[in-house]
Amino acid sequence: MNDPPPRASRSRLRRLAIDLSPLRTSREFRLLWTGLLVTATGSQFTLVAVFVQVTNLTDSEAAVGATGLAYLLGLVAGSLGGGAILDAWDRRRLLMMAQVGLAAGSAILLAGALVGEPPLWLVYAGLAVLAASSSFDGPTRSAITARILEPAQLPAAQALNQVVWNTAALIGPLLAGVVIVWWDVTVAYAIDLASIGCMFVAASLLRKMPPVREDHADTGLRAIREGFRFARKHRLIMATFVIDLIAMIFGLPRVLFPFIIVDQFQRSPKAIGLLFAALAVGALLGALTSGWTGRVHRQGLAVIVSVGAWGVAIAAFGWSGTFWLGLAMLALAGWADVISAIFRTTILQMSAPDRLRGRLFGIHILVVTGGPRLGDVEAGVVARLASPTFSIVSGGIACVLGAGLVALLYPELRRARAPHPT
């Protein structure tokens, strides 16, 4: 068989490679993306530093686990409060305010570290402030992205953002570990604080983005209720929330990694980092080779298939008898997860009216952040009642069945299609 000509091979690679057009065509998106690249990496320094600091202060697994609860409580409080103003104020101004809030949370953690041995409640308070501010930051950036790009560019924009998040998840903890070993958590917190400043500068360079409607959007409790009411009644948007919750609650067994690495794979506990890295590597490869997603017309069906693939890969990971096969299955799961995220976020951006987009993305942040926390509980309870392997395999199967059930109950998701380019 003759090899394909070099020009044809290059054409195939270009069709597979990530689409960079949002960066080329939009100054505002370049600013957002560059700021996100810096601040997402910086946030990993705080993530690692908090775990190290709380461990040193308490030597308690429960105290370290409570950091997730503190973050979740802050996120819920911030999402409810943010829902009151997210669509009523200029989004450039909101993004700058979010950076001020993030800087305040980082400054609390830095001040505590400078003291030496801060009270535990101060660390939890800093995390809660960070979480509350992030509930403004993420939805505002997503709402701005939908305003500044053409609908056909939204899948590419989500893929570019996924590259940032997964690159940060790979590189950030490694760099943070080096910084903490050579210096201490104080320097790690200071680096995160400086990265937030970079995003503040990027936000200040954006053009003003006031609400589209001449009459300003509602504020206060009425605005919060309106956002939740719209999400509940809009079946396509609700379907994206439900299917993501199913995937994260039943199919993210990260709390079982410390047991699986020893009992099933007979590896040192130190190798646990490879399990987390495998998910991130798969997701990063999925984002870097996502050029084809912009040509997918049936986006809802793509969500269903990718969540099903996530469940199959997680179940296969639970059945894996060899360590390297397990890593490969986790990488495949990471790939499927990022593809699902690209299409789910795109559907939300295109389906949400601009006057509600900030509030709906606030709910989206609650789903994608709260789902894994609920998944930690589900995986731990099932593992306690049966075994870690059973918990992982049954969770993967539940994802597949859940994706099929959502496809039946929400035909709007099956039928969801990308808009024709204008």
Q: What tens digit of pLDDT does each residue of 293-333 get?
A: 878 889 999 999 999 999 999 999 999 889 999 999 999 99
Outline where 116-234 has alpha helix (H).
120-148, 154-182, 185-204, 220-233
Q: What is the pLDDT of residue 416?
A: 86
Summarised one tens digit per residue, pLDDT across range 121-174 is: 999 999 899 988 888 888 888 888 878 888 788 888 888 888 888 888 778 877
pLDDT attached to residue 122: 93
For 365-421, how does the pLDDT look when each residue is reduced to its tens digit (9 = 90+)?
778 877 777 777 788 788 888 888 998 999 999 999 999 999 999 999 999 887 654
What whole-number distance in Å separates Cα of residue 33 and Cα of residue 168?
13
Closest CA to 169 of 260, 69, 45, 81: 45
**Predicted pLDDT of residue 393:** 94
Q: What gap in Å lies between CA 49 and CA 185, rounded to an integer? A: 5
pLDDT interval class at 15 (50, 70, 90): low
List, for residues 260-302, the tens digit of each pLDDT value.
Answer: 887 888 887 667 667 877 888 898 888 888 878 878 889 999 9
Q: Report which residue type is found at 367.
A: V
Give the pTM.
0.73
Nearest Cα neighbor of 308 from 388, 375, 398, 237 is 398
DSSP at 18: P
8 Å CB contact between 345 and 166: no
Residue 190 carries which side chain, given as an amino acid letter?
A
- Tens of pLDDT along 30-62? 999 999 999 999 988 888 788 778 878 887 656
Task: Report the largest interatomic distance among the alpha carbons of the chain, rounded to a whole angstrom.
Answer: 70
Catalogue all structural domains in the chain, each as residue range(s) with its CATH number: 19-216 (1.20.1250.20), 218-422 (1.20.1250.20)
